[in-house]
Amino acid sequence: METRELGQSGLRITPIITGTWQAGKAMWVGIEDEETIKAIRSAFDAGITTVDTAEVYGQGHSEEIVAAALSDVREQVVYATKVFANHLKYQQVIEACENSLKRLKTDYIDLYQIHWPAGTYGSEVVPIEETMGALNHLKQQGKIRAIGVSNFSRTQLEEAAQYGRIDSLQPPYSLFWRHVEKETIPYCIENQISILAYSPMAQGLLTGKFGPNHQFEAGDHRAKNKLFQGENYIRAQRALEKLRPIANRYQTGLGNLALAWLIAQPQTSAIAGVRSAEQAIENAKAPEIRLSEADLAEIDAIGRMVTDHLDEDPVMWSW
């Protein structure tokens, strides 16, 4: 699989990245460790050599599952993990990194990201200068190789960049969720900051597997996703019907069509979560799809059937 530079770090990442939120099990249903390990390894075997996790996914369980799947090929993989909003004081960042290193069974993290800005989800407001100071120290020690942020606005990104090099932004971004395009992506393009898009298939909505009357099981957080609610969901179903003929022309599924569109956007890679080996292998085929300029434009217009009606809140869930 082709690779791209992560920001200006010198690290090479794949356009499809294996996402492991579900590997932590918390807020998901029907997840089995053995199946997840097989899925992560199958993604690697199919050429996806970049994997994204976080300390908060199952309170470290996801990181342990990544290690179980990939420790024997560690030098061939780019590990990205994240420190949560409640660990952003200087010493907390240092300790969180050490804990992630242990769970990942490695002596360095390729990309270490601030998961949410300080102050979110009831966390303490910590000056970004303090957090960046800790991240810069870890980088100087060689414990991390690049610094990224997740769920930051353009203003927050600009402030963080005053205190050190930011090589990536991880926002929610898909054909059906495009808030980041308005202000933040132009800044990222100008400053060579890679976009690592999470929920690139809108948590499965863009695969077309959820019918008009779908109900999630108790405990599945996707029930709180705004795209699965009310008029948004009805518009999404209409848009999917218009996308199907395009997917058929490329002899691919709706999910891979959505991934192909996304990774064709400037400086953008897609973090695709996997539950099974079959999903991982299918995701790895997305970079082979070369969409024409006309089809990119048509897909863009179909996506706006959904996004033009969304509110201005960039958070995807109504928690």
Evaluate the CA torsion angle 112, 117, 121, 127 in order and state its sign: positive
pLDDT above 90 (res 231)? yes
Average model confidence (pLDDT) for the chain?
A: 95
Q: Give pLDDT, residue 317.
A: 85
Q: What is the dihedral of CA 61, 63, 69, 70, to 10 degrees?
A: -170
List domains and CATH numbers for the chain.
4-204+254-290 (3.20.20.100)
Residue 170 in tokens = 């991880």
Partnered with residue 147 across adjacent β-strands are: 112
pLDDT above 80 (res 52)? yes
pLDDT above 90 (res 185)? yes
pLDDT above 90 (res 217)? no
pLDDT above 90 (res 263)? yes
Contact 145, 139 (CB under 8 A): yes
pLDDT above 80 (res 56)? yes
Q: Closest Cα to residue 14, out of 283, 278, 253, 290?
A: 283
pLDDT above 80 (res 29)? no
- Split at pLDDT 50, 70, 90, the class of 21 is confident
CB count in 10 Å sphere of residue 213: 6
Catalytic residue, candidates 57, 112, 198, 233: 57
Q: Distances from the Cα of 176 to the Cαs of 6, 28, 209, 309, in angstroms?
A: 25, 22, 15, 10
Q: Give pLDDT, residue 156.
A: 98
pLDDT above 80 (res 319)? no
Question: What residues contact 135, with CB distance under 8 A and at least 6 apart?
Answer: 93, 112, 114, 144, 147, 164
Q: Give pLDDT, residue 79.
A: 98
pLDDT tens figures, 94-120: 999 999 999 999 999 999 999 999 999
Helix (H) or strand (E) holding 144: strand 144-150
CB environment 153-179: b (16+ within 10 A), e (fewer) = bbebbebbbebbbbbbbbbbbbbbbbb
- Look at strands 4-5 and 109-114 and give their pairing: unpaired
Rounded to two decimals, the pTM is 0.95
Q: Give pLDDT, residue 219.
A: 81
Contact 107, 138 (CB under 8 A): no
Contact 23, 61 (CB under 8 A): yes
Phi and psi angles of residue 220, each rounded to the nearest 5 degrees, phi first: -85, 115
CB count in 10 Å sphere of residue 80: 29
Residue 90 catalytic?
no
